[in-house]
Amino acid sequence: MTFKKSILIIAMSGALLSACSESQKAQTSDTNNTVKQEKTTDVTMSESEKANQLFDAIFNAGIDRNPVMQTYLGIKKDYDKWHDLSEENNAKELAFLKSDLEKIKALNVDKLDPQTLISYHLYVQKLENNISDQKWRFHNYPVNQMRGTHSQVPAFLINQHSISNLKEAQDYISRVKGTKKLMEQLVTQLKLREERGIIAPKFVFEHVIRDSKNILVGAPFDAGKDSTILADFTSKINKIELSDADKLTLFADIETALNNGLKPGYEQLISYLTELEAKADTRDGAWKFPDGKAFFNNALKRTTTTDLTADEIHNIGLNEVARIHDEMRLIMEKVGFEGELAEFLEFMRTDKQFYYAGDEAGRQQYLDEAVALIEDMKGRLDSLFLTKPKAQLKVKAVEAFREKSAGKAFYQQPAPDGSRPGIYYANLYDMEAMPTYQMAALAYHEGIPGHHMQFAIKQELTGIPMFRKFGGYTAHTEGWGLYSEMIPKEIGLYQDPYSDFGRLAMELWRACRLVVDTGIHTKKWTREQGIAYYVANTPNAKSDAVKMVERHIVMPSQATAYKIGMIKIIELREGAKAALGDKFDIREFHDVVLRNGPVPLNVLTQLVNEYIEAKKA
């Protein structure tokens, strides 16, 4: 059976993967659990059952070796440990990758059912890519302003490590104590990159040193109020029933762990980063890496799941910027603004009517209205979707300890067992970077119908192996997020022209990303050139432009996924509409996109084509 023939219609009634209320129960309560496959006497299903059991066994074994991922998935097996960042562990993981690939390739692909054959090809590709990408494994910055172990530790403890009993409190303390070893391993990784001439640009260090120092502010490190982690621990302990003696012991132990484990770990990191900063320069693109051009081309392939070249992506971006500018001129005429587009962009960027106050009341108003937008959208989903998520969604401001360097908005998926909702984070540090006209598009992208529907539905699926539920392809994931900003307009939302301008502004932002990302990493654009391009072509605050360009620099290719993915989803939808005419159902199309989990764009294309053929039959 060929791979193409295997991509049979999954989106039609009876062939769609079903989501049921049991999907969130016990999915991750034991790392040896595997997805149950339907029983049949057909010999091909027997091989498929064997394959799916192997896929889940490999996935579960990987989770069993990764305490941090366990916690993200709601598993509390190694609740007192961090992941091992050592070179020795990397060598072990590489050996597992090669062994797992051999096991999967030993399957008889001719006896696999269509859905399992998709899984087979996806897993083989995933493992082969991971093995191949070992050559690039030092081509990154493990500590940067966007993400890294230095900021993951507090965010993880606060948002992921729940405490419901004495043991889980002790596990929390063990993790705090274990931070010293974790930071030692992190410094070793940074040194390995330094030896290869891979050092983050100079601007990164101000952010990461500041954020690292912030973790050591407050009690028990100084006489101030409780530090970020001690405050979190105290809050969690005070919410559960424990004896006074146990509480006294726990509070003494957490202070010891903070002073003797976390503090020296962070101090070592800060000391090394301070030394490394003196060696950093202002060269921003991946072109400066050893074999930088080949690295970036590979990164684009992984990010977009296409064969588009850097120049092609750059030109797509330029064309999209021009198109969206034309649509903005129409809105400019609609609201009666007289002047050039650049003047209108400046008006939208600076006029006070579009911004809430930068105080607590203004921030709360923003959060309240974001919640209202999402609740309104929930009531409209039946016209767009057959499948809706069961997991709840919470809107939350980015925490103070990371708000200065974090992005303007992002999403954290729910725990598979339903114990933790999905979270839409809005960064309200700088309210002048959060215009009200972009509020709706942001809420739709990060919340509903965007990432929350996407991730929750993916986790609630049954009948596919867990690596597909919990894995992802950025072009599919972020392409859907950007597409989700557009589809509310098609059901009558964005009636306010300024809000519709905000939708266009968000799409324009992603189009500019194609231009600037490739400009920095292949055309040797400087940080300042990238910032200037955003400021000249979008209504966003300069602070937005600075953060975005700095993100491009430390995450090469990542930001190209959004617009490339969206373009493909729209292209496939319009193709289905043209082919099916009156038979086209937008709800079925959305099921094709979401209810197979994340897939590369070429596989999504084949899924949609098979949907069209099945619908025609």
Q: What pLDDT was estimated at residue 27?
A: 36
Q: What pLDDT was estimated at residue 71?
A: 95
Please check whether residues 346 and 283 belong to one and the same domain.
Answer: no
The pLDDT tens digits for 39-74 are: 443 444 489 999 999 999 999 999 999 999 999 988
Is 246 among the domain residues? yes
Q: How far apart are CA 187 and CA 179, in angstroms?
A: 12
Give residue 530's domain range.
Answer: 293-566
DSSP, collapsed to helix, strand or coil, labels residue 410 as strand
Q: What pLDDT was estimated at residue 337?
A: 97
Please check whether residues 248 and 200 belong to one and the same domain.
Answer: yes
pTM of the predicted protein model: 0.84
Is 67 among the domain residues? no
Q: What pLDDT was estimated at residue 73?
A: 87
The pLDDT tens digits for 200-241 are: 999 999 999 999 999 999 999 999 899 999 999 999 999 999
DSSP state of 392: -
Please check whether residues 283 and 338 belong to one and the same domain.
Answer: no
Q: What pLDDT was estimated at residue 416?
A: 82
What total of structural domains would you count in the chain? 2
Please check whether residues 276 and 318 belong to one and the same domain.
Answer: no
Give Cβ neighbours of residue 420 (< 8 Å, ≥ 6 apart): 74, 160, 162, 414
Question: 295-324 burial by CB neighbour count: b if 16+ within 10 A, else e?
Answer: bbbbbbebbbbbebebeebbebbeebbeeb
The pLDDT tens digits for 101-149 are: 999 999 999 999 988 999 999 999 999 999 999 999 999 999 999 899 9
> Which of 29-38, 427-436, 590-599 shows the lowest mean pLDDT across its residues?
29-38
Residue 540 near residue 575, CB atoms below 8 Å: no
Q: What pLDDT was estimated at residue 400?
A: 87
Q: What is the mean pLDDT of the chain?
A: 91
Number of H helices, E strands in the chain: 25, 3
Q: How far apart are CA 422 and CA 445, in angstroms?
A: 13
> Which of 13-22, 24-33, 343-352 shows the lowest mean pLDDT across its residues?
13-22
Q: How far apart are CA 343 and CA 112, in angstroms?
A: 60
Does residue 240 or residue 544 have the better pLDDT? Answer: 240
pLDDT at 592 over 90: yes
Question: 55-67 burial by CB neighbour count: b if 16+ within 10 A, else e?
Answer: bbebbbebbbbbb
Q: How far apart are CA 359 and CA 428, in angstroms?
A: 10
DSSP, collapsed to helix, strand or coil, labels residue 396 as strand
Is 543 among the domain residues? yes
Q: What pLDDT was estimated at residue 23?
A: 32
pLDDT at 165 over 90: yes
pLDDT at 25 over 90: no
Is 319 among the domain residues? yes
Does residue 549 or residue 16 have the better pLDDT? Answer: 549
Is 66 among the domain residues? no
The pLDDT tens digits for 289-321 are: 999 999 999 999 999 999 999 999 999 999 999
End-to-end Cα spacing for the chain: 21
Residue 305 near residue 600, CB atoms below 8 Å: yes
DSSP, collapsed to helix, strand or coil, labels residue 26 as coil
Q: What pLDDT was estimated at residue 8?
A: 33
Please check whether residues 164 and 265 belong to one and the same domain.
Answer: yes
CA-to-CA separations, 304 to 96, 315, 538, 599, in angstroms, rounded: 26, 15, 24, 11
pLDDT at 329 over 90: yes
Please check whether residues 445 and 562 belong to one and the same domain.
Answer: yes
Question: 347-380 burial by CB neighbour count: b if 16+ within 10 A, else e?
Answer: bbbeeeebbbeeeeeebeebbebbbebbeebeee
Is 575 among the domain residues? no
User: In residues, how long is the chain?
Assistant: 617
Q: What pLDDT was estimated at residue 541?
A: 84
CA-to-CA separations, 41 to 48, 111, 116, 338, 507, in angstroms, rounded: 12, 13, 16, 73, 50
Q: How far apart are CA 451 and CA 284, in angstroms?
A: 30
> Which of 132-136, 370-374, 469-473 shows the lowest mean pLDDT across its residues?
469-473
DSSP, collapsed to helix, strand or coil, labels residue 339 as coil
**Strand (E) or helix (H) holding 610:** helix 601-616
Please check whether residues 242 and 317 belong to one and the same domain.
Answer: no
Q: What pLDDT was estimated at residue 30?
A: 38
Percent of the chain with pLDDT over 70: 93
Residue with token string 């289905």: 576
Residue 155, number of CB atoms within 10 A of its CB: 17
Measured in degrees and rounded to the nearest 5, phi and psi for residue 391 equal -65, 145
Please check whether residues 341 and 447 belong to one and the same domain.
Answer: yes
pLDDT at 264 over 80: yes
CA-to-CA separations, 510 to 355, 424, 501, 565, in angstroms, rounded: 22, 19, 14, 11
Is 16 among the domain residues? no
pLDDT at 17 over 90: no
Please check whether residues 254 and 374 belong to one and the same domain.
Answer: no
Please check whether residues 363 and 469 belong to one and the same domain.
Answer: yes
pLDDT at 32 over 90: no
Does residue 482 or residue 403 have the better pLDDT? Answer: 482
Give Cβ neighbours of residue 282 (< 8 Å, ≥ 6 apart): 201, 202, 203, 526, 527
C-alpha closest to that of 595 among 71, 206, 118: 118
Please check whether residues 284 and 433 belong to one and the same domain.
Answer: no
pLDDT-based confidence at residue 9 (cuts at 50, 70, 90) = very low
